[in-house]
């Protein structure tokens, strides 16, 4: 204990000489905490980003399917639709469904949220099709040649048999 007496004396002496320092630290801490509560959390920003993606995708319902298409003027394929929607939100994605499937974090099907990306095996290979989850087991996508951007249900036999998984994109 005697070894620590000089150190303790020094600490208490400093506190006696500079008492306002502790008050200033407390005031700074309160100020920073107030600033942080005004800012949305990372979770809120990610959730808002994903929900915005789901909402924006709905604007393209009825746009015709076009293989390799990536704009509303010329038409969309599945990855072109997803890429266009996320690009309008400031996130650039790779061009193909397979490449997109490597982005974000894996999401279990019972944890899907609006804006998550859902992947399917539609061409006898995994991750050959992608859509944007809307909620309530529904997703929007550009299905196939001759089709249009539309909403389908994950529970439909065709889609449930071909479901490959889902990814959640944060702010990439």
Catalytic residue among 14, 84, 102, 129: 129
Catalytic residue among 14, 49, 78, 84: 78
CATH fold, domain 42-168, is endopeptidase fold (from Nostoc punctiforme) (3.90.1720)
Decide if pLDDT at 12 tops 60: no
Decide if pLDDT at 136 tops 70: yes
Decide if pLDDT at 66 tops 80: yes
Catalytic residue among 14, 49, 102, 141: 141
Tokens of 1: 């204990």
Q: What is the pLDDT of residue 51?
A: 81
Q: What is the pLDDT of residue 29?
A: 44
DSSP codes, 47-106? HHHHHHHHHHHHTTTTPBB-TT-EETTTEE-HHHHHHHHHHHTT----SSHHHHTTSSEE
49: annotated active-site residue: no
78: annotated active-site residue: yes
Greater model confidence, 80 or 29: 80
Confidence bin at 44 (pLDDT 50/70/90): very low
Q: What is the pLDDT of residue 24?
A: 53
84: annotated active-site residue: no
Boundaries of every domain in the chain: 42-168
Beta-carbon contacts of 118 under 8 Å, excluding residues fewer than 6 positions away, are 112, 130, 131, 132, 133, 139, 154, 163, 165, 166
Average pLDDT (116-125) is 95
Q: Is 64 helix (H, G, I), strand (E, B) or coil?
A: strand
Average pLDDT (87-95) is 95
On average, the pLDDT of the chain sits at 83
């Amino acid at each position: 204990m005697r070894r620590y007496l000089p150190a303790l004396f020094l600490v208490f002496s400093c506190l006696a000489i500079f008492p306002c320092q502790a008050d200033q630290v407390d005031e700074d801490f309160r100020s920073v905490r107030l600033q942080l509560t005004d800012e949305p959390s990372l979770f809120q920003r990610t959730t808002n980003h994903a929900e915005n993606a789901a909402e924006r995708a709905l604007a393209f319902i009825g746009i015709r399917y076009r293989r390799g298409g990536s704009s509303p003027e010329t038409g969309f394929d599945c990855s072109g639709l997803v890429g266009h929607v996320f690009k309008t939100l400031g996130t650039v994605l790779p061009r193909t469904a397979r490449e997109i499937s490597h982005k974000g974090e894996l999401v279990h099907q019972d944890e899907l949220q609006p804006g998550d990306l859902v992947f399917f095996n539609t061409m006898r290979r995994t991750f050959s099709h992608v859509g944007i989850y809307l909620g309530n087991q529904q997703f929007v996508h550009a299905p196939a040649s001759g089709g249009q951007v539309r909403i389908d249900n994950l529970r439909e036999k065709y889609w449930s048999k071909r479901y490959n998984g889902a990814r959640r994109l944060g702010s990439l």
